[in-house]
Amino acid sequence: MLHFVFMCLAVFLVTFFSILLFRPLAIHIDLVDSPGIRKLHQGDIPKVGGIAMLVGFLVGMLMLHDFLLNYEALFASVAILALLGFFDDFCDIRAGKKFLTQVFAATLMVVVGRTYLSSLGNIFFIGNISLGWFGVPVTIIAVVAGINAINMLDGVDGLMGSVSLIQFTYLAIIAFLAKDISDLKILMVIISCLTGFLFFNFPLSNRRLKVFAGDMGTMFVGILLMWFVIRLSQMPGARLVIFLWIIAVPLFDLLNVVCRRLRQKKSPFGADREHLHHMLQNAGFRDRQVVLIIAGCAITMGLVGIISSVLPISEGVLFFLYIFILVTYLCRFGYLCRD
């Protein structure tokens, strides 16, 4: 137990001091995010949060080297997307190339790592729905969607990190309840990385030391999130619908954005200022209020999933309640964004 606590503290400190170390270097090599039409922050902000979190994660993995043979595909996928994000932070890579690379990383995770959705559970009151071989393409689509959903959250200081921290915490609780110690340890490493990053990204942090995660950070967090969502949801006795509640906030925003862009005959991979956090900003909320509102929604939705994991609530009831909330959200906020 003491070793476990020391490991988490070490990962936090490595992430924290890596940001302090990389920040001046990023400014020197122009690895910064400059203000623009869609970016309303003040001054050039170094994009080193992703690099620092990756360094912290690697240190944590070195301290957990004894059981990592089952995670090679995850590490390979993380490496591919981290490299993609690093180059994208320097020079914007075309959306099509990013999408294909994400598909490749997701395919590697699914095929080599054998981590995919084989069952949807009893969500339609007709018994367990087995996907068979069809689970492979479904999982690849889900992983790519999840990576981009996390990326879309990264529009307000502290938002992506806060929501992701909440989601990984809920996943750690599920791993703890399932006595899945190996997954729990890695999840705690990720939580430690995110905590170290949020010290420099949350709206209350010192503006002189502020950093962004960059695409490297969002892809790093996104692929890790989807790996554990899929892995834990397919454990014996687990129910996939619970994990849909845990990742509801980024998923709802993604679906709303994609539906709106397709209706407007625009590319779903394009960029705009019509995400939920942008609408709240336009409604007059300050950045920290936006983060608290959306993080509160993530806590509430995830808590439903956690409570449902220990109570005998029907999967079908949970799923249709989830769909009802999703449709209500799409009707409400989709309407606000119509031309």
Q: From first to last of the 339 residues of the chain, give the pLDDT tens digit.
A: 777 889 999 999 999 999 999 999 998 888 888 765 455 545 689 999 999 999 999 999 988 876 667 788 999 999 999 999 999 988 888 888 999 999 999 999 999 989 999 999 999 999 999 999 899 999 999 999 999 999 999 989 999 999 999 999 999 999 999 999 989 999 999 999 999 999 999 866 566 789 999 999 999 999 999 999 999 999 998 999 999 999 999 999 999 988 888 887 776 766 667 788 988 988 889 989 999 999 999 999 999 999 998 888 999 999 999 999 999 998 887 654 554
d(C-alpha 307, C-alpha 321), whole Å: 15
pLDDT number for residue 31: 87
Give, in order, the Cα–Cα distances in Å from 164 to each of 56, 211, 251, 258.
Answer: 16, 17, 12, 21
- Domain that includes residue 109, residue range: 2-336
pTM, to two decimals: 0.93
Q: How far is CA 157 from the centre of its chain?
A: 15
d(C-alpha 9, C-alpha 104), whole Å: 34
d(C-alpha 275, C-alpha 253), whole Å: 7
d(C-alpha 91, C-alpha 231), whole Å: 33
Segments of the chain assigned E as strands? 32-33, 45-46, 119-121, 129-130
Other beta carbons less than 10 A from residue 164's beta carbon: 29
Among 303, 297, 299, 304, CA closest to 329 = 297
d(C-alpha 32, C-alpha 224), whole Å: 24
d(C-alpha 41, C-alpha 242), whole Å: 36
Domain count of the fold of the chain: 1
